[in-house]
Structure 1
């Protein structure tokens, strides 16, 4: 007979109770549900990939609606996690990705994906990640949108979004900004609201039906309209102040029908031959422009008559209206610019009197004082638009090669002429040349004045005379802007022979050049300086014999050192020939 002690029985009972409690506890604590931790959109090798990443394995169902621009994905027994707000992508073929919370099915995380292109989705599930891919013509392997973890610094996240937006080409929207927040309202009501705000008349096709749910804040109305249309597979056509909205397929069929009718008319219409005289444009270039415009029908023919500078076009009658418009728009006279130049050789003092050696011309007040007066009566003010030039021309000797640029308004030109004439009569300056030339827009005008210096060379063939150029050359290329101002590229070159330094009897050529690009008003004057020539002379007068005594000789002699600095100033006044 076997005896069991009471303490042993108590231990067995206690172990059994612990096991039962553990089983009950496990039954009360179900396993943790998977939750969404990230959603990302990217372009890889011409395919758009939408990645839905969860914390643990999950099951899913994809619903493909009749609308090819929408996809719905249900994740069973899955929590939304960090995916709480709509992600607006608007790139890579994806418009937005939105969570759809259904109180009747709290265990399902429904994701609604709106596309901008119709897509045939290819799903792939691997390692807690569902990848939805479809063909897309865009080509980029950068991640364009996604859900970042909450620990990411907000400033870095903002910069990443900004960079992605800059990479995606966006249309330019100029409409008044609006904010809308609708839930399950008729589409027609939304379009009526946009019509009231925009001032356009909106005509809606009877085929446009459905409910609308969207929240937009501070968005231009034309951008909001485009987003809504893409979201629901719609398109618009604009005629004057009327916007017509219909399903994309309907508008596409209408455009195809219009193209077929037009093609039929071109095939069946009578051919008409017309001659278009070309007055100003190059006739061959005009013919090539019409060919490049791709408006000739398959039956059309175009040729050129060089003798009469005319274009001969044979095509259906309704196409000739287009040819007339193109020729009328392009066959216009090229604008011309008259360039008046004054090339002046002056002393440095006169340069200061003219006020060319300033630091800048500004306009803090309606009139700005610039340097000294031109005349004793005083013309120290230049009016008109300010020229922001901060290139001060240095004063004093030894400053050869410094560029000076100035601006003289049209109403100061007469005083400038008077001052230059006075300077020439007193010997302080000399007007070297005052040429005038007319050139066409964007064509180079060249003014050259100087001489050819002969020199002899000896070779096996004997002695012959050759020439070297020593000339002052002014090159101007004007361009008339749409605002009526003149953009000028100016080059000034002064070449001068130096017979004190020769090589094989050929004098050296001292070269000075100034080049600038400046915008100037019609009729105003541009002043260019900076081409200097410096001469140094020394003279001594002394009492014979006594002037050579060391130290005391200074009492019996006189020394004269003179530095003469001559500057070439160029005044250019362009005027549009009207």
Structure 2
């Protein structure tokens, strides 16, 4: 009994296979005889009590066999197994079903076959040329070549009658289609140049021989082909050979079914589905709307690819769930799925409370709702957020709730954190010669940014500079010594950095004015700010005055991002604002230096930023009045005292990834 696709979709029951409704038997197989030929082959002679049926058959290479189906035929044979043992034929097995009688020819090795229909008899020729003959010789009436939707070539051969069984052969990029017993009119015996259609086929060469007509397809590449027949139309479709690989890239499963050879003439599509179901062991459910017939000849193609080609040629679609394939017209299948979806939407709603541990419940709720109504919630589903307890109140169908639980389990996880440690150091006097950056320590180069934001690569290990074995080696003097610039580099060895900074502090050459630490989540900005707010009075439009404030601070904005290999990408933005000597309308002026950059460092590695320096030079003249101004001897009565002081601000930034155990404490 055949169940409709509607019953399968709504009821959810799977059938064991494609079962065909019983037909009234038109003929009965009464005898089976075997005759060995002189060429080493063998003929099987089948006799019936009425007109011989039109057989459908296919061959298989492993194990080698030929399967012949006799539709609407019963069996009156006394036996179901015939041992032959000659002509390469081992035995013949006969099986009867309400819809057909099947003969299985078990061979010693793969070989071709042909079937001839003569009145109440069928002759199966094994080991000869494949084909099915009978009746008057058909003739070709017209050729029509077109480009298919997927870029393949499509040749439609119009005959004066149906019943032609084509044979195909592929050698390299050449496809030959043979039409046994067909005649070709002289006016159609011309080469078809189809290179302008932009298909894999460049030309088609028709030729008439004693055995029939051959159509040779000269292709630009290896191709796949399918030959089908609809009435008096013979259709040859040629697709690029890489179509299978391209569909695999686009997410469609690659054809990996067991190879099968099919040789059908005017067989019903439902019968082909039955053959494929029996061969593959996969259950196939067909809609009542699946009708029509097909003639095809496929040689050793994956069975799932053969199914796809047959469905495509008849405008059908399929859906697979487990070991069951549903087949129906594409429009009907879409309609049935829509009805099933509407039926599911009528399911009763359930309420569930989900306590969110790590994420924000409001953010997850927005994700569930989705943009423009496209989310995990159904049309009737609702989500409410309790911000006090960080809990989601969900109301939806059981199926949707299960999907939502799976999603929340993957998203509600702790986010990795990064500890950002900054050291802000002031270097004084000669410390600029010792606290600069020796770029040879890490064998890297630094980048210098001026106050206008222009950067350049500079070498921080000039010839003659002191080499440091590890830790910190400092050379604070910038390349030109004028203006205010930023420079940064890399250091490793946090302990050595602390020791050297403390040593310089003990000599009075440096002072650590701040050492803040902050922990931030991955890809979240951490802000470290130090400075002062300067009050000033500002007049309003009404004439009153208000006290406003301006910030003059050193501000560090750090946004870390943990890479898969454990390194850290930091987006750095540093502002160093100081109060200028001048003012305007009572409002203080602010001198600003800023830098914005991105660096990649290892876990625990230190980024060094320098070049924020100020200098003060003093020149004092001491002399005896009058005598100090005399020429020549005046120098004996005066002296000059010159002093200079340089102060440079260094910023050391060290990111460290916090482990899961440390983060949970």
For the aligned pair, the TM-score class normalised by the smaller chain equals 0.5 to 0.7
> Does 1:101 pair with 2:205?
yes
**Equivalent of 2:298, from 211, 216, 222?**
211
**Equivalent of 2:525, from 444, 453, 477?**
444
Are the counterparts in 2 of residues 79 and 109 from structure 1 also a CA contact under 8 Å? no
Deviation of 1:538 after TM superposition, in Å, equals 1.6
Give the 5 Å matches for 1:279-358. 279-292=357-370, 294-347=375-428, 350-351=431-432, 353-354=434-435, 356=437, 358=439
For residues 336-371 of structure 1, the C-alpha deviation after alignment (integer angstroms, 9 at most, x for no partner) is 32211101111485455345253895479xxxx985
When residues 554 and 468 of structure 1 are mapped into structure 2, their CA distance, relative to the original with a 3 A threshold, is farther
1 CA distance for matches of 2:261 and 2:656?
A: 59
1 CA distance for matches of 2:501 and 2:207?
A: 92
Q: Mark the runs of 5 or more structure 1 residues left unpaired by the alignment.
A: 1-58, 90-94, 117-144, 146-168, 175-185, 191-201, 215-221, 383-391
The TM-score, its normalising length taken from structure 1, stands at 0.55
When residues 306 and 541 of structure 1 are mapped into structure 2, their CA distance, relative to the original with a 3 A threshold, is closer
Deviation of 1:438 after TM superposition, in Å, equals 2.1
2 CA distance for matches of 1:287 and 1:552?
A: 91
**Equivalent of 1:406, from 468, 482, 489?**
489
2 CA distance for matches of 1:303 and 1:431?
A: 51
Structure (1 or 2) with the greater helix fraction: 1
When residues 111 and 62 of structure 1 are mapped into structure 2, their CA distance, relative to the original with a 3 A threshold, is farther
Are the counterparts in 1 of residues 505 and 511 from structure 2 also a CA contact under 8 Å? yes
The equivalent of 1:277 in structure 2 is 355
Deviation of 1:497 after TM superposition, in Å, equals 1.9
Are the counterparts in 2 of residues 532 and 568 from structure 1 also a CA contact under 8 Å? yes
Deviation of 1:77 after TM superposition, in Å, equals 6.2
Are the counterparts in 2 of residues 344 and 570 from structure 1 also a CA contact under 8 Å? yes
Deviation of 1:436 after TM superposition, in Å, equals 1.3
1 CA distance for matches of 2:517 and 2:431?
A: 24
When residues 559 and 462 of structure 1 are mapped into structure 2, their CA distance, relative to the original with a 3 A threshold, is farther
Q: Mark the runs of 5 or more structure 2 residues left unpaired by the alignment.
A: 1-140, 158-186, 226-239, 241-245, 252-257, 263-278, 285-293, 446-458
When residues 570 and 381 of structure 1 are mapped into structure 2, their CA distance, relative to the original with a 3 A threshold, is closer
2 CA distance for matches of 1:275 and 1:462?
A: 56
1 CA distance for matches of 2:156 and 2:378?
A: 50
Are the counterparts in 2 of residues 344 and 429 from structure 1 also a CA contact under 8 Å? yes
Deviation of 1:457 after TM superposition, in Å, equals 7.1
Deviation of 1:62 after TM superposition, in Å, equals 1.0
Deviation of 1:473 after TM superposition, in Å, equals 1.7
Moved more, 456-465 or 274-283: 456-465
**Equivalent of 1:511, from 585, 592, 600?**
592
1 CA distance for matches of 2:154 and 2:589?
A: 82
What SS does the corresponding residue of 1:188 show, helix, strand or coil?
Answer: strand
The equivalent of 2:576 in structure 1 is 494
When residues 565 and 100 of structure 1 are mapped into structure 2, their CA distance, relative to the original with a 3 A threshold, is farther
What SS does the corresponding residue of 1:403 show, helix, strand or coil?
Answer: strand
**Equivalent of 1:530, from 601, 606, 611?**
611
2 CA distance for matches of 1:399 and 1:438?
A: 37
Are the counterparts in 2 of residues 79 and 107 from structure 1 also a CA contact under 8 Å? no
Deviation of 1:72 after TM superposition, in Å, equals 0.9
Are the counterparts in 1 of residues 426 and 513 from structure 2 also a CA contact under 8 Å? yes
User: What do you get for the CA RMSD once the two structures are aligned?
Assistant: 5.5
What SS does the corresponding residue of 2:208 show, helix, strand or coil?
Answer: coil
When residues 546 and 211 of structure 1 are mapped into structure 2, their CA distance, relative to the original with a 3 A threshold, is farther
When residues 551 and 259 of structure 1 are mapped into structure 2, their CA distance, relative to the original with a 3 A threshold, is farther
The equivalent of 1:3 in structure 2 is none
Deviation of 1:407 after TM superposition, in Å, equals 1.1
The TM-score, its normalising length taken from structure 2, stands at 0.49
1 CA distance for matches of 2:332 and 2:604?
A: 55
2 CA distance for matches of 1:65 and 1:467?
A: 75
Deviation of 1:286 after TM superposition, in Å, equals 1.9
2 CA distance for matches of 1:231 and 1:474?
A: 67
Aligned residues: 409
Structure (1 or 2) with the greater strand fraction: 2
For residues 512-557 of structure 1, the C-alpha deviation after alignment (integer angstroms, 9 at most, x for no partner) is 2222211222222111122221222222344554432345545654
When residues 232 and 262 of structure 1 are mapped into structure 2, their CA distance, relative to the original with a 3 A threshold, is closer
The equivalent of 2:498 in structure 1 is 417
2 CA distance for matches of 1:402 and 1:231?
A: 73
**Equivalent of 1:379, from 448, 455, 469?**
469
Moved more, 293-302 or 100-109: 100-109
When residues 296 and 437 of structure 1 are mapped into structure 2, their CA distance, relative to the original with a 3 A threshold, is closer
What SS does the corresponding residue of 2:485 show, helix, strand or coil?
Answer: coil
2 CA distance for matches of 1:279 and 1:342?
A: 34
When residues 303 and 534 of structure 1 are mapped into structure 2, their CA distance, relative to the original with a 3 A threshold, is same
For residues 112-139 of structure 1, the C-alpha deviation after alignment (integer angstroms, 9 at most, x for no partner) is 89999xxxxxxxxxxxxxxxxxxxxxxx
Are the counterparts in 1 of residues 261 and 298 from structure 2 also a CA contact under 8 Å? no
Deviation of 1:307 after TM superposition, in Å, equals 4.2
